[in-house]
């Protein structure tokens, strides 16, 4: 078994090249000093923003310089920390950046309220002034929030609560990731700690007895702490509702959807459409039970592999070649740029001691759209992960090339489309070049699993969040009993009669960290549905469909997400994209069933 190298021993060509952010730590230090020196100059603009368009522009330009520098410093510190989280130097650098960034946030807290306080008629005149043309999008986004902004003193009080508002989330994380001890599981390789991370790995283990033991042992830990966690979640929900009410939103959900300009009907369409298509999911679970040869499919069986991991190896460069061939429908510029980035300094490729696990793309206005991955040659899913993160990075690349800094940044709603779009194209390419039915079954099974995990499961979470918040908004208490009862009703709805649930099963509702960032998970569902629709258009359409999709990538933050997707040819305000994803799910499960019968 190869040992995991120290960061200092990683080959240069296997690391990302951060020199476009800063040539080295010395230059970063100079930038941090410069950022700190900028902060006192912010105060001179206070009270001037409504005096003239020239005064407003002067402040916006000054803040652009600061924010561009702040982003650059923050990304460098963040990336250096993630390449080796055990490095005291990296920890200290990031902490010093955060200290100054916090001071910057405090020094600028007056600006948005002052802009929103400008007389409406005067602001109309400002927006008509050509000298402010490049700031119109930013200003209009700020002005949308005007009905929900309070007085200066009230805003100050709310801002002072920011750290305290993190208590429920931080406590939940500390309790479930650090303090709770789930024990160990005896495996053929010895005793393995049961943790939040390893639990998922145990549930995909082919050994059913191992899955069963891990399942009940894990939830025993949550049973022990159920009252504490339910109380934390109730506190988080009450805080969401408090913040929405003091800012004059109709509901906590309306408040969460407002920044993206997403109507609540989009959320409802998603839940309703998935609800109507649950028979297809239940049919899949029946197929799964038969494929596993079980009399009853238990809750701990729903992630067990139907097809063994195919034995295929791709070196990193081979993976890049496969990805670029799969993405050929997007055109030469897209593919040439992505290949150059994946092989020329965008990517930190392999695991080293102290490196953050998983994968992410981090695109900023200065520097490259960097990718962190822990690539393994014998894991086919890592090829998909690289394609996924490459989608994010190319989204950032196009956005930077086509927008000024002040509105280049796109929303998470849109980000999930660009990444999963690439996975759709990769899956199609690999299926077309699959050498045998085993590989085809594996690839189709992965697509089925992705739709279940990303659309069905996240929609179930979204429905739970809405119902839990509505209960409190209507005066009903959230207790451990009411939370579990609500979550169990959804488990029964989504899994159907084919899946055996246990007394412990509804404890799952107490372990989902996303619930502490309410009304977020629906974006995963809508993102994949949009990606399926757009990839189908690009693969089966004409040149205009390709250009429309690239136009979506280029739009950055210049439009609201539903507008940018509509321009690309997908109307997420209607149920149709989700219905199309459900039709695709039915096709995939039907094909998987045929392949499993052959096997």
Structure tokens that stand for 293 in this block? 């040869």
Catalytic annotation present for 389: yes
Beta bridge partner(s), residue 371: 347, 361
Kindly list the distances between the CA atom of residue 405 and the CA atoms of 42, 104, 110, 288, in Å, as whole numbers in the listed order.
19, 18, 21, 49
- CB within 8 Å of 128: residues ≥ 6 apart: none
Query: How many residues are present in the chain?
Result: 599
Beta bridge partner(s), residue 372: 348, 360
CA 39 to CA 243: how far, in whole Å?
Answer: 29
Question: Could you tell me if residue 519 is left (phi over 0), alpha (psi between -120 and 50 degrees) or otherwise beta?
Answer: left
The active-site residue out of 389, 423, 463, 508 is 389
Structure tokens that stand for 509 in this block? 């509702």
CA 539 to CA 528: how far, in whole Å?
Answer: 16
CA 594 to CA 589: how far, in whole Å?
Answer: 9
Kindly list the distances between the CA atom of residue 328 and the CA atoms of 325, 447, 511, in Å, as whole numbers in the listed order.
5, 20, 41
For the chain, give me the number of helices (H) and strands (E)?
25, 7
- Closest by CA position to 218, among listed 299, 324, 143, 157: 299
CA 285 to CA 290: how far, in whole Å?
Answer: 9
Beta bridge partner(s), residue 190: 187
Which residue numbers are catalytic?
389
């Amino acid at each position: 078994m190869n040992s995991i190298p120290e960061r200092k021993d990683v080959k240069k060509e296997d690391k990302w090249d951060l020199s476009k952010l800063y040539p080295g730590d010395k230059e970063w230090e100079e930038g941090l000093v410069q950022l700190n020196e900028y902060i006192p100059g912010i105060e001179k603009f206070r009270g001037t923003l409504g005096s003239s368009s020239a005064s407003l522009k002067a402040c916006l330009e000054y803040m652009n310089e600061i924010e561009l520098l702040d982003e650059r410093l923050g990304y460098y510190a963040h990336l250096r920390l993630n390449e080796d989280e055990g490095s005291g130097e990296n920890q200290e650098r990031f902490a010093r950046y955060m200290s100054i960034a916090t001071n910057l946030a405090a020094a600028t807290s007056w600006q948005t309220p002052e802009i929103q306080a400008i007389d409406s008629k005067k602001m109309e005149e400002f927006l008509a002034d050509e000298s402010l043309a490049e700031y119109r999008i930013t200003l209009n986004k700020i002005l949308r929030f005007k009905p929900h902004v309070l007085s200066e003193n009230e805003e100050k009080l709310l801002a002072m609560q920011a750290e305290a508002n993190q208590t429920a989330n931080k406590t939940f994380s500390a309790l479930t990731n650090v303090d709770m001890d789930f024990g160990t599981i005896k495996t053929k390789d010895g005793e393995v700690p049961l943790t939040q991370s390893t639990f998922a790995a145990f549930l995909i283990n082919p050994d059913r007895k191992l899955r069963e033991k891990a399942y009940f042992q894990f939830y025993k830990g949550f049973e022990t702490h159920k009252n504490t966690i339910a109380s934390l979640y109730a506190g988080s929900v009450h805080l969401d509702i408090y913040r929405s009410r003091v800012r004059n939103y109709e509901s906590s959900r309306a408040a969460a959807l407002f920044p993206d300009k997403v109507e609540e009907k989009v959320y409802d369409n998603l839940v309703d459409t998935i609800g109507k298509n649950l028979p297809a999911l239940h049919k899949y679970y029946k197929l799964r039970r038969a494929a596993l040869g079980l009399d009853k499919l238990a809750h701990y069986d729903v992630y067990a592999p139907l097809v063994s991991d195919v034995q295929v190896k791709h070196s990193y460069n081979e993976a890049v070649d496969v990805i670029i061939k799969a993405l050929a429908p997007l055109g030469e510029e897209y593919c040439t740029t992505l290949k150059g980035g994946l092989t020329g300094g965008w990517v930190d490729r392999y695991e080293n001691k102290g490196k953050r696990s998983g994968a992410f793309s981090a695109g900023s206005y200065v520097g490259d759209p960097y990718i962190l991955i822990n690539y393994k040659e014998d894991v086919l899913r890592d090829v998909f992960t690289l394609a996924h993160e490459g989608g994010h990075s190319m989204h950032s690349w196009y956005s930077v090339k086509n927008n000024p800094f002040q509105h280049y940044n796109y929303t998470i709603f849109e980000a999930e489309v660009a990444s999963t779009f690439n996975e759709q194209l990769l899956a199609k390419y690999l299926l077309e070049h699959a050498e045998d039915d085993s590989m085809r079954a594996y690839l189709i099974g992965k697509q089925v699993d992705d739709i279940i995990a990303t659309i069905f499961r996240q929609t179930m979470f979204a429905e739970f969040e809405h119902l839990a918040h509505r209960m409190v908004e209507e005066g009903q208490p959230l207790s451990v009993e009411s939370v579990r009862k609500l979550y169990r009703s959804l488990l029964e709805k989504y899994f159907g009669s084919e899946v055996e649930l246990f007394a412990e099963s509804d404890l799952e509702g107490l372990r989902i960290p996303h619930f502490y960032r309410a009304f977020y998970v629906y974006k995963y569902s809508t993102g994949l549905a949009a990606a399926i629709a757009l990839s189908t258009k690009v693969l089966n359409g004409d040149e205009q469909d390709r250009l429309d999709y690239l136009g979506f990538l280029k739009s950055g933050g210049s439009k609201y997400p539903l507008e940018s997707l509509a321009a690309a040819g997908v109307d997420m305000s209607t149920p149709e994209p989700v219905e199309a994803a459900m039709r695709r799910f039915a096709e995939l499960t039907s094909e998987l069933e045929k392949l499993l019968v052959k096997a």
